[in-house]
Amino acid sequence: MVAEKSKSHTLESEALDIIFREARTHRAWQQRDVPDALIDQIYDLLKFGPTSGNCCPARFVFVKSKEAKERLRPHLDEGNKEKTMTAPVTAIIAYDLKFYEHMSKLAPHMKDPKAMYGGNPEKMKQAAFLNGTLQGAYLIIAARSLGLDCGPMSGFDADGIKKEFFADNDYIPDFLCNIGYGDASKLYPRAPRLSFDETSKII
């Protein structure tokens, strides 16, 4: 039997600062290694984030070696090359259009996920894209929780990355995220955010 959580079971303010309030998008990096074991820990956290029907369509390639970075370089917009080539790790976040092939394991209660998604290309693509992007956000939260900094970005040739890294499957590149220990001295002033009243209402 699962014990009921206490109503006061919340993160300390310092943890919220690390994940959200003081976290920044980094463009310059300390030359500190991110061990493979730490990358494993990122995934072992993010995998628990919810997705619709537990479909878990995100697929990740963590580009770390010099050789792999050189494969990535030609597909980056010019403004993203230096920040990416100097980052200890660059995660390619992609989504699997055939995610439903794993749902007998992930959602055994579903009678025929292949018919539900495989027979409806628009529904399949929407579910893969939305939930894969959501899992990419979990990656950022997980990395920050483990003391790392992130630099998520667009600005790349998706077709080129698809051919280079996902030529033999149905994975579609979504976005990139540089990961490491950021150089805070190179940060720009923080940009404003919209207030609750500008974006939201309670009805």
Question: Tell me: the pLDDT tens digits for 87-132?
Answer: 999 999 999 999 999 999 999 988 888 777 878 889 999 999 999 9
Least confidently predicted of 27-31, 37-41, 105-109, 126-130: 105-109
Domain locations in the chain as residue ranges: 31-183
Question: Tell me: the pLDDT tens digits for 154-172?
Answer: 999 999 999 999 999 999 9
Question: What pLDDT is attached to residue 111?
Answer: 83
The whole-chain average pLDDT of the chain stands at 94
Q: What is the CATH code for 31-183?
A: 3.40.109.10
Torsion angle (degrees, nearest 10) of CA 74, 80, 83, 89: -60
Q: Report the run of H or E that residue 5 belongs to, with start and end.
A: none
- Measured between its terminal Cα atoms, the distance across the chain in Å is 35
